[in-house]
Chains A and B, each alone.
Chain A
Amino acid sequence: MDASSLNSAELQRLISQEKERAMMNEMVAKLTSACWDKCITSTPGSKFSSSESTCLSNCAQRYMDMSILIMKRFQSMQ
């Protein structure tokens, strides 16, 4: 392998793959942070109560639903 392969399509592919992973990581981190704030209102216990874990799952799903809705709203404005 030589230095010219750094300009190849392989590098492009790698970069877009890493970009996608970074976006995925960002989304999961954002979901966790927002839903933690919404759902874990008291001192953390040794496990989640069923209402806490239900809240976390629901929260993540609703956040993603909202995300899609916002996208659609923006698209309809153009």
Chain B
Amino acid sequence: MLRLVRPGLHLTRGHRALQAVPDTLAAALDRVVGSTNVSVSDTARWQHGQDESIHPCCPPDVVVWPQNVEEVSTCARLCHEQHVPMIPFGTGTGLEGGVSAPQGGVCFDLSAMADVVIVHPEDQDATVQSGVTRSKLNHEIASSGLTFPVDPGADASLCGMVATAASGTNAVRYGTMRHNTLNLEVVLADGRIMNTAGKDCRARKSAAGYDLTSLFVGSEGTLGFITQATLHLHALPEGSMVAVCPFPSVRAAVDATVDILHSCVPIARIEFLDKDMMTACQQHSGLDMIESPTLFLEFHGSPGSLRDQVKTTEDIVKDHGGMEFNWAQEQETKNKLWKARHDALYAIRSLHPGWKCYVTDVCVPISQLPEVILATQDDLKASGLIGPIVGHVGDGNFHCLVLMDPSKAGSGEAVHAFSTRLAKRALAVGGTCTGEHGIGLGKRDLLASERSESVGRRDVSAADWWWAAAISSDGPIMGPRGSVQKSEPQEAREELPECRVRRLAVRGTA
């Protein structure tokens, strides 16, 4: 019989705080990290209780800045012993309220650990600590001709991007965080330090044991602190070109997308902006383009390959009534275009200063995209909402940036109802309610709908299963692959078994 032993995973969501942070804990944390690295000031707490979402600030009770993984471990153990919630914090640029602390607790700001630990250019991998942002890593590796192409809008911390399974404009060709994370150093809730793929492992692929790395990707801080990540890097493209293609209608643009992908053009970026989004970007970023449904495309490759890709795509664009095919190769033009695209959220917010902007994130099979986008636009009109659309149509993922007037009664409810309808529309065609932003505070009901077949309806069902498998003596065939190091100070601790193999009866033998 499986004995479920859960070593007190204290999660920030779905669990009530058992008490406010006791003074003894605050004092103990002070002794671990030093008084300059712990704060209970209103400003520090307010800053750490919110991100870039519309969710209101829920400040933690205490903020600590651990300087190394041992301090994270000790502080976690202290909080765990007192049943105090813990919240990991990277750059606070999330879009789903992932850092807010509705039940209070201790926020661990992991930005002080900001080393690029090592880069192996010959193997195209790099190991970074939790405070390293994607722009810092890219600056570090550029001289080797390498890049880390996962590019969500914000300059987020890479470990935060792991926690939210982040994606971006390059995912269609280079994958998301899920495809590019090789190994993680994590600190579990009770302070144990663990490497999800085994210490120092940086093999590009492995069939050794359960894939704990993947489990932590997208876990949104519910399974532990991600203190270090080993990432797969890519070569900077030999050459690249961008193209901007306005279309007479949304359907034409999205149908063209589907055809471009089916033609096996190895497109690096294919982004859709609807008419309202183009208008906002023009104003905010000073572009000079036709305001109609538009595709921003980017091609990577050698000069010969670029010519072929562009030729094929240009023909497809023309077939679907594309009004223009404007292409450019200069760095300035490319940078300006993609900056305008990345600034979409800020462009929308600047349309109505003071209003809030809620970002949806559904992802559907590509063939379903045209219908879902068109139905969504009809819904926006019917609901009287302003919601320009921008999206990584190459992955079937698009965002409505829905504006909300906080002074208008019922506007929050209207937006919430719209986004629920959109999510259900996506689920109905085999999609997901969130392609890259995560569940956070606002989508737990939707997750329940999406995973209604899972064992248990809690979003920690995966964690429960894992602990049960790892610890129970009647566990499955193999223990988890990750190796556990004892955290300091040394104490008798329950070790996670490593690759424990239970011999199966072989057919035909006794």
A and B part of one assembly: no
